[in-house]
Every structure is written in C-alpha cells, then in structure tokens.
C-alpha cells in the first residue's frame, strides 16, 4: 500500500498539473477509502512527477491535426471543437494534462471561435462535430447555446457530440433549460466519462435521467486503469450500472502515454483478457469497444486480433483506419 502523500508533495504535483475536485466527488472520497477508486482518479499522487522516456506531452497527436486554434481534424468526416480547456475535476491520468487547466488559452476567444467555426463551414466533408476540451458542459449555458446554434446553421454538420464528466461530478449544472437547449440541437449525443460504478450518486443518476428524458441520448467512455477498474467484476458492475441508467457503453480506452501516468497503465494482453471475460457474462448492451489511440496522431484502433497483433519480440503491430501499421512497444512501471 502506498504511503500517504504529504501536503508538500500535493503542492509539488499541483504546481505541475491542474487539481480540482467538486463537492460531490469530495463527499464520495470522504465517505470511502482514502485510496479508493474515486480518490485515485482525482487526488494528486507524487508518482505523477515520474516521467518515463516513452511518455508524450501530446500522446494522441492532436497538434499535428490542428489547422486552427480549437480544432482537431484527424478523420475525414468529423472534427473536435474544443471551446474550453477547463474541467470541473481533473483526472490524474488525463491525456491532455499538459494543456488543460493551465490558464493559457482556457477559453477560445470570439475571434478564435469564429475562425474554428469558419473552418468547419469551409469543409463540407465534416458530418460530425465533437465538443471536447476541457469539459464543454462547464461553459455557461448562454455560451454553449450560442455554439450549438452556430453549428446548426452549417448545413453539412448533421451530428453533434458532447464529451463530459459533468452529469456525475457536477450534476447541479444539468438543468431543465440546459436539457431543452441540447434537445434543440438534435441529433446531439452526450458521451459520459465514467470509470467506476461508485461515481454514480442519486444526484448524478437524476441528472442523467433528465438528459435522456429530454430526448438527449447518452453513451459512455471509460479508461482501463490499473488499481481502479482492471478486473472483470469491476468492469461488469460499471457497465451494468451504465446500462441500467440508459447509457450505452461506447469505448473502453487503453491508457494513453501522458506524462506521469505510468502507475495507471495496464498492458494490452490484460485488457483483451478482461474484455473477453465479459463476453457471454454480460449483455451485448454492456460491452464497449476496447481501443487504443495510436501514439503520434494516427487515430483510434480496436484492440482486437484483426487490428493488433503481438510480434515475436513482444511488441505490438497495430493497424490504423488507413491500413498503415505502427509498432507499439509496452513498458511497465517497474521497467
């Protein structure tokens, strides 16, 4: 069991990476174990200051696909629009931890937002816009509504997706008026980031129900995290809880190689074994796609045998959506 982190060590981590915890999550931490699944996700840990050679400041290669500020255009038919780089909570394993919560470019200015929307308008192949960041649902309702209205005015944008932790970590931000605004932007999907069943509170469940009852469908994305959800029983409880709340598990992400996150990382073979263990054990509704964001900006790939194969040297060959192969070498925390 790791020793308790001192206040000085907490300050050292906070000087390097953003720290924030909402009252709802703080209550769960106080009520549970000091090193329980909620605490591990949000409380600073000195291991975050250990940076390994294979870790990258931009592990998913966003920068190489960013034609203008606030846009990531990695795939032909969809873009990320990041209007804000602030979150209500900061995950200790965040793959954008070098850029979120830093105070620099925390909010796209009006000129930058207009340029980003102009880019989307000028690219007729863009069918879907994914609002990310940062957490888009931390924006004021007025600001978010303005963005959604301007996206609706672009004829070729048919789908909007919002990725957020807010419904569970700050459920009081989900109001009926916000739900009406989101419903007016339909087809719009909210993708909830959730890694453990214990993140659900009564208030969080009500917030999710409010969105869904208003006609806003919800999906989920989770990250496979060592010591938090890397066993079949924990994943089963998480995915069942999501489906019971009418939220379809969408992605289970293999950990990205962000700096200071090696203590959260599992290996691909274990992730595969866990997803295989869930086959037949839970409904197909409860089974997300296990994916890797290929380092360097090559996009997501399923970690199935068709897309990822281990070579004789122990390294993986992973195939991207353009049918190119990439070497993925795994290192463990104690290497």
Residue of 35, 47, 52, 78 marked active site: 78
- C-alpha 259/C-alpha 133 separation (Å) is 18
Catalytic, 300? Answer: yes
- C-alpha 131/C-alpha 164 separation (Å) is 9
Catalytic, 286? Answer: no
* Nearest residue to 44 (alpha-carbon basis) of 3, 91, 87: 91
Residue of 12, 26, 47, 75 marked active site: 75
Residue of 40, 74, 85, 257 marked active site: 74
Residue of 93, 300, 307, 328 marked active site: 300
- C-alpha 129/C-alpha 151 separation (Å) is 8
Catalytic, 194? Answer: no
The secondary element (H helix, E strand) that includes residue 305 is none
Residue of 257, 293, 298, 307 marked active site: 293
Catalytic, 96? Answer: yes
Residue of 91, 179, 194, 286 marked active site: 91
Spatial strand order of the sheet with 316-319 comes to 308-310, 316-319, 325-328
- C-alpha 38/C-alpha 228 separation (Å) is 8
Residue of 45, 87, 119, 265 marked active site: 87
93 alpha-carbon distance from chain centroid: 10
Catalytic, 208? Answer: no
Residue of 96, 97, 161, 241 marked active site: 96
Catalytic, 94? Answer: yes
Catalytic, 256? Answer: yes
Catalytic, 315? Answer: no
- C-alpha 70/C-alpha 50 separation (Å) is 29
Check: CB of residue 133 under 8 Å from CB of residue 83: yes
3-state class of 172 per DSSP? helix
Q: Which DSSP letter does residue 163 get?
A: E
DSSP states of 153-179? TSTT--EEEEEESHHHHSGGG--HHHH
Residue of 90, 251, 256, 328 marked active site: 256
* Nearest residue to 93 (alpha-carbon basis) of 172, 189, 165, 197: 165
Q: Which DSSP letter does residue 44 get?
A: -
Token reading at 269? 């073979």
Catalytic, 293? Answer: yes
Burial (CB count <10 Å: 0-12, 13-18, 19+), residue 270: middle
DSSP states of 221-232? EEE--TTTT-SH
Catalytic positions, written as ranges: 74-75, 78, 87, 91, 94, 96, 256, 293, 300
């Amino acid at each position: 069991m790791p020793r308790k982190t001192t206040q000085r060590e907490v300050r050292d981590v906070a000087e390097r990476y953003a720290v924030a915890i909402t009252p709802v999550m703080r209550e769960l931490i106080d009520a549970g174990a000091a090193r329980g699944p909620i605490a591990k996700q949000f409380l600073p840990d000195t291991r975050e200051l250990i940076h390994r050679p294979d870790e990258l400041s931009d592990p998913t290669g966003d920068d190489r696909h960013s034609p203008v500020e606030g846009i990531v255009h990695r795939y032909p038919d969809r873009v990320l629009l990041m209007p804000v780089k602030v979150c209500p909570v900061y995950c200790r394993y965040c793959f954008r931890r070098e850029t979120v919560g830093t105070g620099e470019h925390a909010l796209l200015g009006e000129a930058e937002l207009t340029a980003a929307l102009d880019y989307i308008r000028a690219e007729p192949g863009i069918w879907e816009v994914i609002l990310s960041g940062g957490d888009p649902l931390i924006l004021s309702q007025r600001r978010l509504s303005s963005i959604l209205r301007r996206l609706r005015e672009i004829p070729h944008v048919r789908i909007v997706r919002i990725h957020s932790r807010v419904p569970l970590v700050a459920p009081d931000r989900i109001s009926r008026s916000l739900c009406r605004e989101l419903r007016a932007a339909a087809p719009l999907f909210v993708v909830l980031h959730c890694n453990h069943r214990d993140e659900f509170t009564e208030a969080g469940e009500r917030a999710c129900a409010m969105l869904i009852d208003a006609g806003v469908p919800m999906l989920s994305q989770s990250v496979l995290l060592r010591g938090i959800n890397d066993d079949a029983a924990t994943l089963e409880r998480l995915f069942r809880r999501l489906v019971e709340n009418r939220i379809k598990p969408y992605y289970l992400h293999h950990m990205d190689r962000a700096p200071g996150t090696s203590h959260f990382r599992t290996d691909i073979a274990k992730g595969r074994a866990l997803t295989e263990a869930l086959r037949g054990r839970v409904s197909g509704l409860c089974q997300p796609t296990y994916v890797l964001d290929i380092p360097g900006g090559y996009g997501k790939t399923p970690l199935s045998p068709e897309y990822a194969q281990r070579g004789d040297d122990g390294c993986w060959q992973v195939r991207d959506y353009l049918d190119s192969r990439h070497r993925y070498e795994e290192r463990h925390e104690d290497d």
